[in-house]
Structure 1
Amino acid sequence: MARNSTGRRVRHTDLLDNGLVADYTGPGLLPGQSTGGGVGAYLLSRAMPHLPPWLAAAGIGITGGLGSLKWEESAAAGVGLTLASVALTGATWWMGKSTTAQRRLHSAITVASASAWTTAACLAGPTAGPLPDLYLIGAPALALSWNIRMILRRNDAPGESGDKGLLEKVGLARAQIGQAKVEPNRVTAPLAVEAGEQTNDDVSTALGRIASALDLPTSAVRYQPDPDSSRRGDLVIVPEDMLAEAAYWQGPSNLGGSIADPLVIGRYDDGSPMFLWLPGDPEQGRNGTHVLVAGMSGSGKGESALNLQTEILSRRDVLLWLSDPKMFQDFRPLLPGIDWAAEGGTPTEVMVEAIQAVIPARTRWLGQHNYRQWVPAAAQVQNDPKHSCRADGRACGCTGMPYLVAWMEEAASTLRNLGDDAFTGIAQEARSAGVSLIVSLQRPSYDQMSTSTRASLPSVIALGCDPRDESFSLPDRVLDAGAHPGAWGNRRPGYCYLVTPGIDEARYASPGRTWGFGPNAVSLMEVLANWAQRNGATADPITAGAASSVAGNAYTGRPTPDGTPAGHAARDEDDLDDADYGPLVDPEDEGIDPEADLPEPEQGDDSPIFGQESGHKPTPEEAQRLLDRALAEFEHEGRMVVGPKDFTDWCDKHNLSRSWVSKRLKKAAEEGRLEATNTTGRWRIVPTLLAA
């Protein structure tokens, strides 16, 4: 017995009364099962549903016999018993007006016959005249009639009970229901609608009315169409919401395991765990996946992200790169275990450019080592000759390549800055490189991200949203099956639907809930981050090299416990003083005596700089030194993506026009010091050693 959303107790027998479950014997028992053992227990369990009419027949005989001892030949008792019989029969007819005419008439005849015989037995004695014969013939006949009715209600044309059943009420009168499978808190019934008249779409449309008839929330009733039929499927009813009580994160599910093992991020409404796989599995025929995390503000998107991130950091063969314009408000305890963490704006631009450079480098390495896709063996030292990059076929001994997860938190901000197709190329190409992209935002609509990017994110964790946004989060087939995230909004944080390769598609429309992260979780997350810092994977030379070739000092790898970078070493600040760039003095300030008096003002010193095309025109040699100096400082600061607006201070300091900067940037791009990005007017700095 369970409670629905209104607090009313919902029993499995309620489903039986509505014609959905046949031969139900108790919670958690399948038809034909019993709680006892042996043939006797089995026969008793089968006979028990049919005993009430016979017990009532025996009770009537006993009542007539006992009543005769008190009221035999009593005129007053005769009047009272007659009036009681008429009243009881009339009440039965009146109370049966809400049922079918057949049930109403059957009930009234049964009550009238039983009360008439009881009255006669009490007044004349149960053995007087024809009363014994009437009892011995009539009582079994009436009991059997109710047994037959019960059998016909359960075993007649499926979908039609004695009162024409639930399905008639919701417009599916001719639908046929097969043998239901009854599990604890779950009933699954095969359903087939009328051939040529209805389709699975009609069942999907009726789900709300079915939930209303059962007095259950809409999300408790789902329909999974048969992919091989347009009129058959499984109707699933979960009467109890086992997600109402929050369950809190108790730590990672598989500390030290592989990222190829399932990630556990919560539980379904029947209590089973929610699994998510990121890498593919060639043996299982499962591809790697990218993930969209979508939900309105207050729907629990941050905690859902924590569930997934803590699972990722607990694995030994994966790197996590995180971009978060909210300055890691939710994820700061995990920062020590994250290989690369970038705030919004330019740092995220640099990360996106680095990911685009890393993908072909990783794909090339995997291909050279005979991996069609990333598998856990790729993260190990390559001692297997089958995965050797050597031409002679001997083991190459190359350093392994960990899996890479690129997480874009609050991605709407990044998409506004970089364009709605910023992740399109990454999403389309990254899976074959052993890279999963995770995009988290509130509203994944077409005006936020391109349709190509959305189509390349096959997995989704869909939390509560505005009902009008459901189609942006979930595929139509999942919504048709009964998924309804708009019913939650932000009133049930953590409630979600999970659509991902590797789980049964019948689960797609089953609601789940991610683990909650209470105040006590912070210290446990810090412990996990420290474990990842000491035991987690470090970037392989291919990934680190490709990232550094784009990001320069912006990427140093996860710091080790002693504070030094785990990846490539950061450049020393004195490197800026080499002969390529000259001393740390502006060219126009060379030879100035700091003790000398300032010169007198000259004409034009007070002329405005901005908005004017005129200004100080340095010599070509001086211009080259100024630009090289500026790019070197940007590179040292990790600002690897720049545009004219980043040179505002330089224009102001050196009395240079904006048009001069734009021309010099184009010239630097021609010389290989800069490369164009996907965003108009933005350039990526090529690190000095590569540009040279």
Structure 2
Amino acid sequence: MATRQLAPVAPDTSAGSWEQVATREVSKALLYFPPWMVGAFLFGLGWVFHVSLRSDDPQVVAWTTVLITACVIGLTGLTWHQSHARSLTGRAHSTLTTLAGGLWVCAATINGPTSMVTGRLILIGGVTMALSFNIRTVIRTKQIDVQGAIGDPLSFLFGQGAERAGMPAIEAKTTKATAHKVEGDVQLEQGKQTADDLQKKVAYVESGVGLPPGSITTAIDPDDASKAKVTISDPRVMKKPIAWPGPSRPGGSIADALRVGLWQDLDEAMHIIVGHHVQFMGMTGAGKSIGGAWNYLGEIVTRADVAVFAVDITKGKQTLGPLEEALHRLETTKAGAKALLGEIQSKVKERTDQLSAKGLQKWKKGCGLTYWVLWIEEFPDVYDALTDAEQEQFLSLLKAIRSAGGTVVMSLQRSDYTQMPTLARGQLAKMCFGVDSSSDASFGLSERQQDANARPELWTNAQPGMAYLDAPSIPEERVAMPLRTYAWGISGEKFDDERANAEMRAHAAAYPAAAKEVDPGTAAISRLATTAPAKPAQAEPVAPVEVELLAQAAELVVHTQFASASMLQRKLRIPFAQATALIAELQRLDAVGPPRENQAPAVLTPVDELEELIEKIRDGAQADDDSEEDVVSEYLTDPDPDPDVQGGIDDEIPDLDPGDPPWAFTPAEPMTPEARMAALVQLLQDWWDGGRRDFSTGDLNPLWSSTDMTRQWAQKRLRKLRDAGVLGYDDDAQRYLMPERPALN
């Protein structure tokens, strides 16, 4: 016989659900009861006073009236004082209600609560007052208290959001309000809440008020642990790129703040970079190059007392190339990067000794030494190229160069423990651009930024130039506030990389490194970029302007309304010098305006006049062809000086006279080892003086082709120079390095 099992019965939750609904609705209804209860209380109070204080003696009635009136005035004043946090309308409403209720109690005490006057007043006036408070409750519940927001915006917003976020006891007060932000102080529940608790609830407060994510930033109050400082701004104003406005203090000192962008509240982001190192981190396309490197370096190179040494062995001159004329040195090879780091290391002690002699513990504006900024793009590639000993030297350099007057900036995509040494990470200020995930963000943000819920993963690379910055000189309340760096090459709202490169080249040319006065130690390390204007005699010849090429250039310039030699170089696939000649020819034809500082020349020809310009170009070329004469005859005007001397291709060439006595060649005397060594060192010194810092054995070919020196002899001597520490050697590139100018000892 089959056994029968009892099936489990699901609990009936309908009763509980109805109870919850009923409780919720009753709670809502109870919000409207207090005004009616106050009206009933006033009626009862008037009846009690009338029964207990009634008198037929006029003097007693007079004194009773005076006392009750005085109490009413006191309560009215107290109501006005205690309702200061409300809007003016709410404050007046509460105060007038207190006054009216008190005066009615006074009248009811004398005449009774049900007399013709007092009875009608409590019935009509009481109902009106109760309904007015109910209306205010409805408005406040539906979040349409506009006057409250105008009276104190921060108090209004936090009164709505903080309560919904589970922090009903806090009080907020506006300290500053502008068109773009609201700043204020928040009083937390003493003994139960801190600024950290508020920071953790920020996202919930934003949700409770319906603000966009990232609208609220908080900071601790250094004077009171029960308070916090709050700023509310609109993050949506930063979605569009902001064009670079130009240098903030050209000709000033690097000790003055750099303007690197705009905060979310549209205040300028100012950063004093002196005295600390900086890490730039962000994913590909997040704006580290244009927004980070170009904004900072665009400001730095305009300062008079700073030199920039830059390294990029990954992208070469793609990022820093347009800035090269304003840099004191740019290295794009592993050997060059190693040599630069070694030379900087060798000068640190010399600089600290110079500062010590002046009684200084660190670099100071006007101390006589040029401040150094060492800028390293794609830092992991540079660090991996160093040997173990060189890596130790670099970490030592990080600690020492700050006292010697220098800042190191390291840019990379992900600063995890495989990309950035721990010893270096602890010494870096943090600038974090958009990243792919919150785990990546943890490597680019400081602890303060993480505690304040900074979230660069919201941007990824969709908003290039957005960043967080935590560094010395940045106010506490801004370390978790987003900023947007300036953009170069903006046409309308679009980015043009050709225009950006042209603008940066023009900017660098306006502030060339060669024009700065630097100290001898800085000059010894510098390798200034050579430009065509500096050596006009060695400039490459420019081919004559071709008519059809000029017509194509005119079409490009007029259609884009942008007169850039870099653009013509790319679009027409021609040398830069030829592209510059085309721009000059268009200027001669008045199609393009004269050169302008920090920007490309203006295009003077509108699109609808392009055909006329091209026709003018071709007509001018035809006129030049018609006026040409026999150019060859111009150079054959001189007569033949000896017309009798004739020569043919098959004529015999007579031998030279053997001489009397016959001529003989004396064999050359062999060089002594000392002479060979002197010739070798002299060649190395010539290379050093010319700016060269590395070479291979094959580069010594001029020695053994012009002397009796052999390749084997030279290799032995180079090994001895390596063992003596005069030369270094790069095993990867298999090239000799010259850390200092070789000397013949």
The answer, yes or no, to whether TM exceeds 0.5 is yes
Contact 1:641 1:684 in 2 (8 A): yes
1:203 shift after superposition: 2.3
Task: Report what 1:313 is aligned to.
Answer: 301
Q: Given the alignment, which residue of 276, 289, 311 partners 1:323?
A: 311
| 2:250 equivalent to 1:255 | yes
Q: 1:136 to 1:306 in 2, by over 3 A?
A: same
In the other structure, the counterpart of 2:413 is 442
Matched, 1:200 2:195: yes
Equivalent in the alignment of 2:167: 172
Q: Does the aligned pair in 2 maintain the 1:299–1:465 contact within 8 Å?
A: yes
Contact 1:313 1:536 in 2 (8 A): no
Q: Distance in 1 between matches of 2:457 and 2:204?
A: 17
Aligned amino acid, residue 190 of structure 1 = D
Match of 2:721 in 1: 668
Tell me, in whole angstroms, the C-alpha distance in 2 between the residues paired with 1:511 and 1:690: 55
The Cα of 1:679 is off from its aligned counterpart by 11
1:117-168 per-position Cα deviation (integer Å, ceiling 9, x unaligned): xxxxxxxxxx9xx98873344213432566699999989xxx9999984324
Give matches, 1:564-643, under 5 Å: 640=693
Contact 1:362–1:543 (Cα < 8 Å) also in 2: no
The residue number in structure 1 matching 2:240 is 245
1:408 aligned partner: 376
**Shift, 1:267, TM fit:** 0.6
Q: How has the CA–CA distance of structure 1 residues 229 and 344 changed in structure 2, closer, same or farther, with 3 Å as cutoff? A: farther
Mapping 1:355-374, distance limit 5 Å: 355-374=344-363
Q: Is the 8 A contact 1:317 1:536 kept in 2?
A: no
Q: 2:286 aligns with which of 288, 299, 315?
A: 299
Deviation (angstroms), 1:289: 2.2
CA distance in 1 between counterparts of 2:521 and 2:676 reads 36
Contact 1:424 1:453 in 2 (8 A): yes
Measure, in 2, the Cα distance between the counterparts of 1:540 and 1:678: 33
Partner of 2:204: 209
Aligned to 2:366, the other structure's residue is in SS state helix
The 3-state SS of whatever aligns with 2:234 is coil
Alignment of 1:134 onto 2:187: no
8 Å Cα contact 1:335/1:529 also seen in 2: yes
Which residue in 2 is equivalent to 1:376? 365
Contact preservation (8 Å) 2:323, 2:504: yes
Instruction: Note the alpha carbon deviations across 1:326-381, whole angstroms, 9 max, x for none.
Output: 12113333222211111131111111111112222222222223443333323xxx
The percent of aligned pairs where both chains have the same amino acid is: 27
SS of structure 2 residue aligned to 1:309: helix
Query: In 2, distance between residues paired with 1:539 and 1:164?
Result: 58
Tell me if the contact between 2:157 and 2:209 (Cα under 8 Å) persists in the aligned partners: no
Tell me if 1:433 matches 2:399: no
Change (3 A) 1:170 1:647: farther
| Distance across 1 between alignment mates of 2:729 and 2:393 | 14
Residue aligning to 2:459: 488
Task: Return the offset for 1:291.
Answer: 1.9
Report if the CA contact (8 A) 1:225-1:481 is conserved.
no
Bigger drift between 485-494 and 142-151 goes to 142-151
Q: Name the TM-score, length of structure 2 as normaliser.
A: 0.55
Q: Which residue in the other structure is 2:385 paired with?
A: 417
1:540 aligns with 2:519: yes
Aligned match of 1:461? 431
Aligned residue identity for 1:253: S
- The answer to whether the Cα contact below 8 Å between 2:435 and 2:441 also exists between their aligned partners in 1 is yes
1:295 & 1:625 partners in 2: Cα distance?
52
CA displacement, residues 82-127 of structure 1 (integer Å, 9 cap, x when unaligned): xxxxxxxxxxxxxxxxxxxxxxxxxxxxxxxxxxxxxxxxxxxxx9
Task: State which of 507, 510, 520 in structure 2 corresponds to 1:528.
Answer: 507
User: Matches of 1:677 and 1:228 in 2, distance apart?
Assistant: 56
CA positional deviation for 1:275 = 0.8
Q: Which residue does the alignment assign to 2:65?
A: none
- CA apart distance, 1:622: 13
C-alpha distance after superposition, 1:394-416 (max 9, x if no partner): xxxxxx43222111112221012
- SS of the equivalent of 2:347 reads helix
Q: What's the offset of the Cα at 1:178?
A: 4.7
Q: Which amino acid aligns with 2:316?
A: M
Provide the C-alpha distance between the structure 1 equivalents of 2:92 and 2:184, rounded to a whole number of angstroms.
27
> Given the alignment of the two structures, is residue 335 of structure 1 paired with residue 330 of structure 2, yes or no?
no
Query: What is the match of residue 36 of structure 2?
Result: none
Q: Which amino acid aligns with 1:243?
A: M
Matches of 1:163 and 1:277, distance apart in 2: 34
1:277 is matched with which residue?
272
d(CA) in 1 for partners of 2:458, 2:515: 40
Q: Report the alpha carbon displacement of residue 224 of structure 1 after superposing the two structures with TM.
A: 0.7
- Residues 351 and 143 of structure 1, relative CA distance in 2, 3 Å threshold: same
Unaligned residue ranges in structure 1 (runs of 5+) = 1-42, 55-126, 280-287, 379-399, 548-554, 566-590, 593-619
Q: Tell me which amino acid in the other structure corresponds to 1:477.
A: R
Q: CA deviation at 1:272?
A: 0.7
In structure 2, relative to structure 1, the CA distance for the partners of 1:200 and 1:164 (3 Å cut) is closer
Query: Residue type matched to 1:541 in 2?
Result: P
Name the counterpart of 2:738. Answer: 685
Change (3 A) 1:667 1:175: farther
Residue 514 of structure 1 corresponds to which residue in structure 2?
A: 485
CA distance in 1, matches of 2:194, 2:340: 49
Q: Give the superposition deviation at 1:513.
A: 0.4
TM-score (norm 1): 0.59
- Mapping for residues 646-661 of structure 1, pairs under 5 Å: none
Q: How far did residue 216 of structure 1 move? A: 3.1
Shift of 1:468: 0.9
Separation of aligned partners in 2, 1:560 and 1:151: 70
Q: Please, which of 455, 473, 491 is the counterpart of residue 502 of structure 1?
A: 473
Report the Cα offset of residue 446 of structure 1: 1.9
The residue that corresponds to 1:289 in the other structure is 276
Counterpart residue identity of residue 238, structure 2: L
RMSD value, Cα: 4.7
Are 1:143 and 2:167 counterparts?
A: no
| CA drift at 1:512 | 0.5
Deviates more, 1:245-254 or 1:675-684: 675-684
**Contact persistence 1:406–1:437 (CA under 8 A):** yes
Higher Cα Rg, which structure: 2
1:675 Cα offset (Å): 5.6
**Equivalent pair of 2:234/2:265 in contact (CA under 8 Å):** no
Q: How many residues align?
A: 476
The structure-2 alpha-carbon separation of the partners of 1:241 and 1:364, relative to structure 1 and needing over 3 Å to count, comes to: same
Q: 1:293 to 1:165 in 2, by over 3 A?
A: same
The CA deviation at 1:456 is: 2.0
